[in-house]
Amino acid sequence: MARCKVKGSANGPKCEPRMTDTKFQKVRESTKRAGVMGWPVDHSLSPRVHGYWLKTYGIDGRYDRLPVAPQDILTRLRALEADGFVGCNVTVPHKQAALAGVDEAHPLAARIGAVNTVVVRPDGSLYGFNTDGFGFIENLAQGHKGFTAASGPAVVLGAGGAARAIVAALLDAGAPEVRLLNRTIEHAEALAVDLAGFGVGMLTVENWTSRADALAGAALLVNTTTLGMQGKPPLELDLSDLPGDALVNDIVYAPLETPLLAQARLRGNPAVDGLGMLLHQARPGFEAWFGRSPEVTDDLRSYVLAGD
Ligand code: ATR
């Protein structure tokens, strides 16, 4: 049985280490700790992102992968403060459960139905928010100068968790129209019901089979499905009707250049890859935990892509 420290106890009672982390007991009291809870979480690039920033800004902090099984997520969140954490990210499959696990959620996170960032407040209570939509918008703004959601209709493919945050962010940022298309139309309809009344734009659900037609007049095309991801089939989409200046974005970042992005660039459309969304969505959490607003730079991109 290992020993772990509990707040208010000088030596700490005997207990199991809360997190699967061999260096758990070596962390100094002053070191601010955060991490990402997921199941599995081995693939997560977040430790590389936050690790880079901690080093770059000379902050006494650490950020770890925290494997947490679905049945343990609420307990683990509740134990954050006792475990010496200032907060954490939550990723698949915990984002919905985390919403129920925090004491207070940002209205946007409540609307989306998912929390990806948790902060332990000074009184020990947990505050949850969702930074996926922020990361999405910031990635487009950085990757394509002059981008604004208000510039025209957006076509969003997919209706999973990522699509939920992206559609909310687009409407929130003033998109006049969002056309949502998904293989299972019921999932798109459910999303549209949940986000009804968000922003001033119109949210319409269209048939997956007519996705090529939905591109007419669009200013933005976003793929949030898993199609095009390593090991998955490519997204089959005829881009003929897409205006030549429409921005194309794929939230898939493995590979970085998906078949969709390659196809878009080939016909002259501007295109932004998905890595930046991952990098930008990490910024608000880092700032809340470690007190410094971090930057997404080319050097960070290269470092993250280089892998462990
Ligand atoms: P995430 O939370 O990252 O968005 P997800 O919830 O698993 O991931 O969503 C995956 C999306 O990819 C869904 O929109 C899914 O469509 P369904 O709702 O019909 O499942 C979409 N998707 C996955 N495989 C697909 C395929 N072969 N063809 C079309 N869409 C697919």
Residue 247: Cβ-neighbour burial (10 angstroms; 0-12, 13-18, 19+): buried
**Residue of 183, 205, 208 to test ligand 1 pocket, by largest number of atoms within 8 Å of CB:** 183
Residue 21 has pLDDT above 50, yes or no: no
Q: What are phi and psi of 239, to 5 degrees?
A: -90, 10
Residue 15 has pLDDT above 70, yes or no: no
Bridging pattern class, strands 126-129 and 117-120: antiparallel
Mean pLDDT for 172-200 is 94
pLDDT band at residue 26 under the 50/70/90 scheme: low
What is the three-class DSSP state of 76? helix
Quote the ligand 1 centre to 299 CA distance (angstroms): 31
Q: Please enumerate, as own/partner, the contacts of 224-227 that have beta carbons within 8 Å and a separation of 24 or more.
A: 224/156, 224/157, 224/158, 224/159, 224/160, 224/162, 224/163, 224/166, 224/251, 225/157, 225/158, 225/160, 225/182, 225/183, 226/158, 226/252
Quote the ligand 1 centre to 159 CA distance (angstroms): 7
pLDDT tens digits, residue range 258-299? 999 999 999 999 999 999 999 999 999 999 999 999 999 999
Using CA positions, which residue lies closest to atom 18 of ligand 1? Answer: 184
Global confidence as pTM: 0.90
88 secondary structure, DSSP code: E
Residue 22 confidence (pLDDT)? 41
Using CA positions, which residue lies closest to atom 27 of ligand 1? Answer: 227
Catalytic residue, candidates 14, 55, 95, 145: 95
Residue 223 has pLDDT above 60, yes or no: yes
pLDDT band at residue 307 under the 50/70/90 scheme: confident
Output the six-digit token pair for 247.
């921005």
Residue 203 has pLDDT above 70, yes or no: yes
Residue 141 confidence (pLDDT)? 97
pLDDT band at residue 97 under the 50/70/90 scheme: very high
Quote the ligand 1 centre to 163 CA distance (angstroms): 9
The better pLDDT of the pair 31, 28 is held by: 31
Residue 199 confidence (pLDDT)? 84
Question: Where on the phi/psi map is residue 117: left (φ > 0), alpha (ψ -120 to 50), or beta?
Answer: beta
Count of residues in the chain? 308
Residue 29 confidence (pLDDT)? 75
What is the edge-to-edge ordering of all strands in the sheet holding 271-272?
Answer: 202-207, 177-182, 154-157, 220-223, 247-250, 271-272
Using CA positions, which residue lies closest to atom 21 of ligand 1? Answer: 225
Quote the ligand 1 centre to 182 CA distance (angstroms): 8
**One-letter identity of residue 175:** A
Atom of ligand 1 nearest to the CA of 92: 2
Question: What rounded mean pLDDT belongs to the chain?
Answer: 91
Residue 256 has pLDDT above 90, yes or no: yes
For ligand 1, residues with CB inside 6 Å are 158-163, 182-184, 187, 224-227
Using CA positions, which residue lies closest to atom 14 of ligand 1? Answer: 158
CA distance 15 to 105: 30
Q: Please enumerate, as own/partner, the contacts of 203-210 that have beta carbons within 8 Å and a separation of 24 or more.
A: 203/167, 203/171, 203/177, 203/178, 204/177, 204/178, 204/179, 204/180, 205/180, 205/181, 206/179, 206/180, 206/181, 207/181, 208/181, 208/182, 208/183, 210/181
Percentage of the chain lying above the pLDDT 90 cut: 87
pLDDT band at residue 27 under the 50/70/90 scheme: low
Nearest residue to 157 (alpha-carbon basis) of 46, 266, 242: 242
Residue 129 confidence (pLDDT)? 97
**Residue of 225, 258, 260 to test ligand 1 pocket, by largest number of atoms within 8 Å of CB:** 225
pLDDT band at residue 197 under the 50/70/90 scheme: confident
pLDDT tens digits, residue range 118-164? 999 999 999 999 999 999 999 999 999 989 999 999 999 999 999 99
Output the six-digit token pair for 298.
């080319």
Does the active-site annotation cover 95? yes
The better pLDDT of the pair 198, 47 is held by: 47
Quote the ligand 1 centre to 38 CA distance (angstroms): 19
